[in-house]
């Protein structure tokens, strides 16, 4: 069987698994209840090399390929909290890749290196109250003023937003140019005019903090402009692919855990004289779910292989074909996630509706996959364009 993982990946996987099972899982219920996990979790992840394994050594990473990130994404669900996984993955795979791609030495030293060590917490500021999947519609704007930019506006649904030390922020710098008038800035949250206006309560992923941010005459030095002015939308489209791909890998691993736990429950739970897993109807259901999950994982791996080859081997921007594959994987895994978790909950019967069973939390948490990082409907729109339809 094809495997992209070598001995060094396997050793790294063991490190992540031990971290998830011994240092995250025992506290998952406590952190879910508190709707926050400690900042020290970021530091510990940084100490173990989890946050920067696939970043270049010259940027503070371990110099590995993207399969290190896939291994990390597959093991974090063993921590029993999708909220913790999401907070860590935003740090390592969503708010920081664009800094590694575009950042100056000064920006890398100030923001990326401490983020990979877990010493600074990062957030990605893109979505707005009136611009979610329609990124080109953002209204937060930055006006040039000498050697500074003055930023006004707001962002919402920002993971790590209540406690971030900096935000990788997308704003309009040329409102007349639409999508081609966006720029990225690195914004320390200590900047005057920056504020957290609200912590948001979510359906699931409770252990991760999610916030609304506000910017009122926030003055940002030109040195915090990331890459070229008005090229932010193009940078974001590349950055989004990492977010979508790691979400697919992590989701597939989480679905396998839910299937395995459901089957174990079905061996113990008896109805009408025998274990419910011995009912042919449910046996066939789980066969179907496992087949589809294997297909989802195969698509994710094919996509990750293409991503890794272009980004880590050829060191080039992603091709349209790889972007299409990533979008397809997100649609397929997102839809399958809802199906698998719904069937596993149904299999549990009344027990599945009780919070003490893990399937109840999984039922709440998985729903985000069809929304975050671009809705399923938006993904289908992109795929249609890439197919020339």
The answer to whether 61 and 70 have CB atoms below 8 angstroms apart is no
Query: How far is residue 342's CA from residue 275's CA, in Å, rounded to a whole number?
Result: 20
Annotated active-site residue 356? The verdict is: no
- Per the residue annotation, which of 243, 310, 321, 335 is the catalytic one? 243
166-172 and 122-125 as β-strands: parallel, antiparallel, unpaired? parallel
DSSP 227: S
List the structure tokens of 86. Answer: 């999401």
Quickly list H helices, the chain.
Answer: 7-18, 28-34, 40-47, 66-75, 82-89, 97-102, 105-107, 113-116, 232-268, 280-308, 320-348, 358-365, 376-386
Give the total residue count for the chain.
389
**CA nearest neighbour of 203 among 368, 33, 30:** 368
Q: b/e map of 362-371 (b: 16 or more CB within 10 Å)?
A: bbbbbbbbbe
| Residues catalogued as catalytic | 243
């Amino acid at each position: 069987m094809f495997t992209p993982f070598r001995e060094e990946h396997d050793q790294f996987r063991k490190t992540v698994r031990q971290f998830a099972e011994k240092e995250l899982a025992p506290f998952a219920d406590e952190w879910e209840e508190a709707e926050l996990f400690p900042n020290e979790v970021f530091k510990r992840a940084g100490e173990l090399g989890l946050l920067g394994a696939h970043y270049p050594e010259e940027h503070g990473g371990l110099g590995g390929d993207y399969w290190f990130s896939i291994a990390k994404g597959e093991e974090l669900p063993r921590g029993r909290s999708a909220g913790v996984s999401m907070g860590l993955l935003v740090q390592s795979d969503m708010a920081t890749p664009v800094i590694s791609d575009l950042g100056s030495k000064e920006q890398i030293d100030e923001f990326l290196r401490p983020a990979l060590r877990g010493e600074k917490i990062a957030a990605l500021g893109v979505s707005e109250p009136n611009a979610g999947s329609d990124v080109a519609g953002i209204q937060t704007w930055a006006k040039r003023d000498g050697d500074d930019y003055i930023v006004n506006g707001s962002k919402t649904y920002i993971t790590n937003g209540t406690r971030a030390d900096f935000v990788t922020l997308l704003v309009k710098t040329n409102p007349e140019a639409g999508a081609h008038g966006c720029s990225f800035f690195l914004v320390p949250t200590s900047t005057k005019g920056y504020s957290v206006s609200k912590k948001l309560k979510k359906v699931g992923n409770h252990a991760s903090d999610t916030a609304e941010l506000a910017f009122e005459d926030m003055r940002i030095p030109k040195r915090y402009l990331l890459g070229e002015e008005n090229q932010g939308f193009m940078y974001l489209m590349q950055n989004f692919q990492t977010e979508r791909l790691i979400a697919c890998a992590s989701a597939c691993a989480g679905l396998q855990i839910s299937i395995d736990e459901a089957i174990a429950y079905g061996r113990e739970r008896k109805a009408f004289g025998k274990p419910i897993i011995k009912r042919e109807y449910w046996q066939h259901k789980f066969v179907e779910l496992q087949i589809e999950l294997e297909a989802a994982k195969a698509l994710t791996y094919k996509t990750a292989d293409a991503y890794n080859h272009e980004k880590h081997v050829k060191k080039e921007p992603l091709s349209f074909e790889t972007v299409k594959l990533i979008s397809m994987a997100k649609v397929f895994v997102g839809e399958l996630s809802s199906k698998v978790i719904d069937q596993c909950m149904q299999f549990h019967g009344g027990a599945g509706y009780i919070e003490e069973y893990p399937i109840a939390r999984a039922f709440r948490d998985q729903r985000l996959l069809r929304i975050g990082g671009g809705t399923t409907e938006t993904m289908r729109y992109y795929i249609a364009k890439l197919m020339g339809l």
